[in-house]
Chain A
Amino acid sequence: MKEIRFENVWKSYGKTHVVKGLNLTIHPGERLVLLGPSGCGKSTTLRMIAGLEEITSGDLYLNGVKANDIPSGKRNVAMVFQNYALYPHMNVVENITYGLKVQKVHKDEIQKRLNAVLEMLQLKGYENRLPKDLSGGQRQRVALARAVVKKSDFFLLDEPLSNLDAQLRVSARKELVKIHEMYKQTIVYVTHDQIEAMTIGDRIALMNQGQLQMVDTPENVYNRPANIFTAKFIGSPPTNIVDMDYYDGKVMIGKQSFLLHPMWIRQINECNAKTFVFGIRPEHLEIYKTPQENTLKGTVKYVENQGSSYSIYINLEGHEVIAMSEKKNWHPGEMVYLKPKMDRIHIFDQESTQSIGYPQELDLNESSPMNHKINVETYLS
């Protein structure tokens, strides 16, 4: 069944709580990415699955069996460590097969798996090299190979690509997805890199300060962030977050206002509040030189070259907001007019920081997930 389930799991060191009441079910055969800033508890969560960290309270179920007290070696997990944890004194083949040999797996079987994995990860010809004589990418593949040959139900990866350069990362991500499609293990992948999360994950579990913020598909995490943290963490530059008042169908930001689309008015009327937090991604904030219908006025502070586009930093009623433009002709001090795309705005409750939800009518055009992934990646890079 290959399912992993956390039920109200806490991990504490004395009075420091690293994981706070985690409830999470990882479905059989999916690729779940644990994403979050450093120190958010994602690695600890992974290590609890592996049995390398004890669970302070709550229950962990693997394959439906309570696993709190099962020793690591009997959990049927394979893990790729951030530093790869290759045995420096063993060559590639010894590294890959050491565990199997100790487990007394039959010789022919070891050879079969070894050949398959060497082939798949392009390690043929490097069999007798020591880790120190391999490149970073090759080491990473050996670490992957060592985990793959175990044929475990659960495949855990702790920031496995963080020591690789950008180009290698792209190919390594593809490799990983390829492996998963062959073996269909349940993958739990820890990273702080949102691009990795977006490209690898079937679902993303975003954590912050020991708490789960949102678990959903990459599309939803990007398009429908459940709370302010998610909105700000995902996307680069981060989502603009501004306090707002709601009055009579209008969003008031400082002294300015713009009209909300009726679908949003219906949504916002379900809440009994007057003040909210307004969010809009830079790429969804249109910027004009001349006044338009339903726009907000701001002053350009400075312009940052992002390569394919420019980030325009704007002072809007004392808040700094960012808009994206493909043109360069924006100058500090210049007055500009901003128009949020009505179907891409986010409204959050001020107190709970949770999203007030999204109008039912809002069915995003990019319904094909494959298309959307590519879009996201270009936005984020």
Chain B
Amino acid sequence: MKIKRSVAIPWHIIFIITIIILLYPIVFALGSSFKTLEDAYNNVLNIVPLNPTFENYITFFNSLPAFKITMNTFIIASVATIFKLITSFLAAYAFVFLQFKGKNILYFMLISTIFIPFTVTMIPNYLIISGIGLVNSVWGVILPQLANALGIFLMRQSMKTIPISLIEAAKLDHIGHARIMKDIVLPLVRPAVTSTGIWFFITTWNEYVWPVLILKSKENYTLPLALQMYISSEGGTNFTVAMAVSVITMIIPLTLYLIFQKYIIGTFTSSGIK
């Protein structure tokens, strides 16, 4: 199919401008985080720092328990991801390969929770977490976030592409569910599991709404909460430090995305909907 250049070129320009707008904040943060405060104020449009300095990063690590905060973020994201992956995998397997009463209604109930706004569950969840004494703790952040149906949805989509005859062949060989999952289904849906896992990890890493309710003391903060402390001064003296914290907060999700983008885009494009 031939498309005229006169049509394509303006669109290329529009795409490139859009991408510049979308990516500029990231470059801006990266540049500013290595600037001195003076440089940042005087040369706003200059992306490259005049005298690159690690000062801002050092300030962050001195003023807050930065290592603990980063570890907290990492632990919360990892535990939640692993747990959600396992439960979603098992549930998706049941929904795809097993027959049981109430299957459709149950699936519908789980998936429709994607459309429930978090405000509907936030008060009782807060009461539950404070009731079992998990306020201001890592587990208090993790537990309510585990109720997430997206993983079931994505993995079910992926498992549905496995020809049913593969499972039937295994069944004729008297192979049990555990082995079918481990030897056949898991290897075949590994790309989906990987990208779902990365998506979970990144969303939990970035999560702000729930941790802000649960985490009270600075040493228990996650990175987005630490970062948020720098806004109150409205670009005041801490501006360049805020940029450094932004970079630290971004770096892991972006690295994961850049490494696994093929998988991730593949999963989101092949899963489609329904």
Which residues on A are within 8 Å of B, measured CB to CB? 50-52, 71-75, 77-79, 81-83, 85, 87-89, 98-99, 102-103, 146, 150
Contact = CB atoms under 8 A, between A and B. Distances in A.
A50 to B, nearest CB: 6
B184 interface: yes
Contact of A74 (B170, B174, B175): B174
B163 A85 contact: yes
Chain B contact residues: over half helix, strand or loop, or mixed?
Answer: helix
Nearest to A77: B172
Given A74-B174, A77-B172, A102-B179, A87 B163 contact: no
Contact of A50 (B172, B183, B184): B172
Contact of A98 (B165, B168, B171, B173): B173
A142 to B, nearest CB: 12
B216 to A, nearest CB: 48
B169 A81 contact: yes
A256 to B, nearest CB: 54
Interface in B148-184: 163, 165-166, 168-175, 179, 183-184
Given A85-B166, A99-B170, 12 more contacts: A50-B168, A51-B171, A72-B168, A72-B172, A73-B175, A74-B174, A79-B169, A81-B169, A82-B165, A83-B165, A85-B163, A146-B169
B185 to A, nearest CB: 11
Nearest to A81: B165
B163 A52 contact: no
B50 to A, nearest CB: 54
A141 to B, nearest CB: 16
Contact of A52 (B171, B179, B187): B171
Nearest to B169: A85
B172 A78 contact: yes
B168 A52 contact: yes
B188 interface: yes
B165 A72 contact: no
B36 to A, nearest CB: 54
Contacts of B165: 81-83, 85
Contacts of B166: 85, 87
B171 A83 contact: no
A275 B172 CA distance: 51
13 contacts: A72-B171, A73-B172, A73-B174, A75-B172, A81-B169, A85-B165, A85-B166, A85-B169, A87-B184, A89-B187, A98-B183, A99-B172, A103-B173
A369 B170 CA distance: 39
Contact of B173 (A52, A81, A82, A150): A150
B183 A71 contact: no
A102 B175 contact: yes
A72 B173 CA distance: 8
Nearest to B166: A85
Given A71-B174, A98-B173, A102-B173, A81 B168 contact: yes
Contact of B188 (A73, A77, A85, A88): A88
Contacts of A78: 172
A102 B169 CA distance: 13
B174 A72 contact: yes
Contacts of A99: 170, 172-173, 175
Contacts of A81: 165, 168-169
Nearest to B179: A102
A104 B28 CA distance: 61
B193 to A, nearest CB: 14
Q: Which of A71, A82, A98 has the most chain B CB atoms inside 10 A of its CB?
A: A98
Most buried by A among B173, B179, B183, B184: B173
A181 B187 CA distance: 37
Nearest to B168: A52
Contacts of B188: 88-89
A83 B165 CA distance: 8
Contacts of A72: 168, 171-172, 174
A192 B187 CA distance: 34
Nearest to B167: A85
Nearest to B184: A87
Nearest to A100: B173
Contacts of A75: 172
Nearest to A79: B172
Interface in B178-208: 179, 183-184, 187-188
Contacts of A98: 173, 183
Contacts of A82: 165
A89 B187 CA distance: 7
A51 B163 CA distance: 18
B103 to A, nearest CB: 16
A5 to B, nearest CB: 20
Nearest to B165: A85
A75 B187 CA distance: 28
